[in-house]
């Protein structure tokens, strides 16, 4: 008899916390983070929109996909949170939220090859529309 799967760990960050309009940019070298954050802020003219999905997840793109689909926020040991398709946290298609303060969210793809192409993503929350 196979043991039951381990209990699902709730994510530290909830889907509703990351929905909204975001400026998005990416960097490959940590010393470029501040410059990239400023570049992301400037992208609010054409924001990346994260909305709630029909099943409680968030509507976002997977790497190398032009299709928006519902992704889940998944908790992992060490108070870590991942965004990705259903399945175990930290899967090959997931990205980890490495930093989030409500205004700036930084994510990194788990798959090293994908991360080497996309870099570390910086999302800066856009001001509400007037």
Q: How many helices (H) and strands (E) does the chain have?
A: 3, 8
Cα atoms in the 13 Å half-sphere on the side-chain side of 96: 17
User: pTM (2 decimals)?
Assistant: 0.91
Is residue 6 predicted with pLDDT exceeding 70? no
Is residue 5 predicted with pLDDT exceeding 80? no
**Residue 44 has what pLDDT?**
96
pLDDT digits (tens, 9 = 90+) for 13-58: 999 999 999 999 999 999 999 999 999 999 999 999 999 999 999 9
**Residue 128 has what pLDDT?**
82
Residues 33, 123, 68, 59, Cα dihedral to 10°: 140
**Residue 3 has what pLDDT?**
72
CB-based contacts of 61, cutoff 8 Å, min separation 6: 67, 68, 69
pLDDT digits (tens, 9 = 90+) for 69-110: 999 999 999 999 999 999 999 999 999 999 999 999 999 999
**Residue 130 has what pLDDT?**
57
Beta bridge partners of 84: 72
Beta bridge partners of 82: 74, 96
């Amino acid at each position: 008899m196979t043991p039951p799967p381990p209990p699902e760990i709730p994510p530290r960050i909830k889907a509703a916390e990351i929905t909204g309009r975001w400026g998005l940019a990416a960097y490959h070298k940590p010393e470029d983070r501040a410059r990239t954050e400023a570049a992301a802020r400037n992208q609010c003219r054409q924001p990346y929109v994260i909305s709630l999905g029909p099943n409680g997840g968030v509507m976002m793109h997977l790497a190398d996909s032009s299709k928006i689909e519902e992704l889940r926020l998944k908790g992992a040991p060490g108070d870590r949170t991942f965004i990705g398709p259903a399945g175990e946290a930290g899967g090959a298609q997931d990205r980890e939220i490495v930093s989030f303060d409500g205004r700036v969210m930084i994510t990194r793809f788990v798959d090293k090859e994908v991360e080497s192409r996309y870099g570390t993503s910086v999302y800066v929350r856009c001001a509400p529309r007037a």
